[in-house]
Amino acid sequence: MQFRPSRLWLPLAIGILTTAVLPAADTVATLPFFNQTTNPNLDWIGESVAENLRESLAGAGILALSREDRVEVYRRLAVRSGVVLTRATVLRIGESLDAGQILFGHYELAPAPAGDTNGDTKSRGTLKLTVNIIDAKNLRTGPQFFESGPLEDLSLLESRLAWQCVYYLRPHSAPPQADFLKARPPVRVEAVEGYIRGLLAESPEAKQKLFTQSAQIDPQYSEPAFQLGRMSFDKKSYKTAIDWFRKVAPSDSHFHEAQFLLGLCRYYNNEMDDAVKVLQAVAAEVPLNEVFNDLGAAQLRTNRPEAIENFKKALEGDQADPDYWFNLGYAQWKAGQVADAAKSFREVLARVPDDAEARALLARCEKGDLPHTGETLTAERIKRTFEETVYLQLQAELKK
């Protein structure tokens, strides 16, 4: 989990940070809770609590490390998800994640009394959640928090637990509990279970089936919509991906990534005006190199002069990337700035000597051969990876 400021366009990022409203935050790792029931079929609950806590913390402006980062560290350390961990192992995981605070815990399920119901259905029992907080930076054990209630109210219990953690970590900026819960409407437990089982599934087919079932059970549930959108995007089913990404709520920690990918879907569907509009909004919130690059690509397709400036912004954050140099050179060449374009293409070749496309365009620049009338040109190089965590890490670093 290395901090990589070179991935960002630093001047704009620093400018935004001077007026940022988000509080400074240590990175927080949320680990799967331990199953203290006798039913291994309930193991998914531990993953669900960790994900809900991570999602809620991120929504409150706290830098919560991604599930992907945690899964990778568990793999490297040969730790099985959901097993009871010693304090030493918890600290080792936190150190590997470079986390300042670590949240972990356990859950218990008491059988429902005979005849007990939750609404019109028989209750599945009373769930008790317990979270522990460790200040890994100062090697101090923090408080324990608890929530209990019907298993059917799992998402509500998780949100209540998350508010206690947010209030402890950010007492001066945490919203009132009522406002916090209002922003996180309860999700049907069947939808939560389907989504978490989808995350845990091995095959893409099983993931898609479970995510789809989850989204059908609770159409307002944002997380499966993002996962389904990303799966459709990876398959180049851009129209389907658009429908899913549009369902991702602004309160979702994946919202900016969903909007970034939505902009690319519009780009690939040749809906350039919509692509520009979406990517401009993302760039205003998360000024990453890849966002400026792809925004410039969409602008270039519609012959907007701002494309050159956005390619330059991408380069200011990472001058080692040959794609940024290529796109700048390509935009300069199309604008008739032949000398500048030739310089940019030489920068590409200095990094990738066998780039045939850059070499061909450099040759045209050296001959003064500009784009011909009616010549179809679609050579922009798109970035498909969105690294918002890097930007959030920079925010936290600069606010220390």
Q: Determine the angle formed by the axes of helices 238-245 and 255-268, rounding to 10 degrees.
A: 150
pLDDT (0 to 100) of residue 13: 42
Q: Which CATH superfamily is domain 24-172 in?
A: ABC-type transport auxiliary lipoprotein component (3.40.50.10610)
**Cα–Cα distance, 162 to 60 (Å, whole number):** 10
Looking at residue 61, what is its pLDDT? 85
Give the span between the Cα atoms of 207 and 212, in whole angstroms: 8
| CB 278 within 8 Å of CB 266 | yes
Eight-state DSSP code of residue 252:
S
**Which pLDDT belongs to residue 82?**
78
Contact 191, 219 (CB under 8 A): no
Distance, in Å, from the CA atom of 325 to the CA atom of 317, rounded to the nearest integer, reads 12
Q: Which of the listed CATH numbers 3.40.640.10, 3.20.20.70, 1.25.40.10, 3.40.50.1360 matches domain 197-271?
A: 1.25.40.10
Q: Where are the beta strands (DSSP E) in the chain?
A: 28-30, 34-35, 101-110, 117-118, 121-122, 126-135, 140-150
Residue 96 contacts residue 77 (beta carbons within 8 Å): yes
Q: What is the mean pLDDT of each run of 10 residues along the chain (400 residues)?
A: 38 38 64 94 96 92 91 94 89 94 96 66 87 92 95 96 96 94 94 98 97 96 96 97 96 94 97 98 96 97 94 95 97 95 97 96 94 75 90 67
Q: Minimal CA–CA distance to 165: which of 360, 2, 33?
A: 33
Q: Do the domains 24-172 and 197-271 sit in the same CATH topology, yes or no?
A: no
**DSSP-derived 3-state class of residue 64:** strand
**Distances from the Cα of 10 to the Cα of 25, 46, 259, 392, 393, angstroms:** 19, 38, 22, 12, 13
User: Quick one: pLDDT at residue 396?
Assistant: 62
What's the N-to-C CA distance of the chain in angstroms? 18
Q: Are 133 and 170 in contact (CB under 8 A)?
A: no
Q: What is the DSSP letter of 288?
A: B
3-class state of residue 147 by DSSP: strand
Six token digits for residue 22:
């988000």
The DSSP string of 324-375 is HHHHHHHHHHHTT-HHHHHHHHHHHHHH-TT-HHHHHHHHHHHTT-PPPTT-
Q: How far apart are CA 160 and CA 150, in angstroms?
A: 13
At 339, the amino acid letter reads A
How distant is the alpha carbon of residue 275 from its chain centre? 20
In sequence order, what DSSP letters do the residues of 19-53 get, joined into one string?
Answer: T--SPP---EEEPPPEE-SS-GGGTHHHHHHHHHH
pLDDT of residue 9: 40
Per domain, the residue ranges of the chain are: 24-172, 197-271
Token pair in block for residue 140 = 């101090």
Tokens at residue 264, please? 């690319």
pLDDT the model gives residue 378: 74
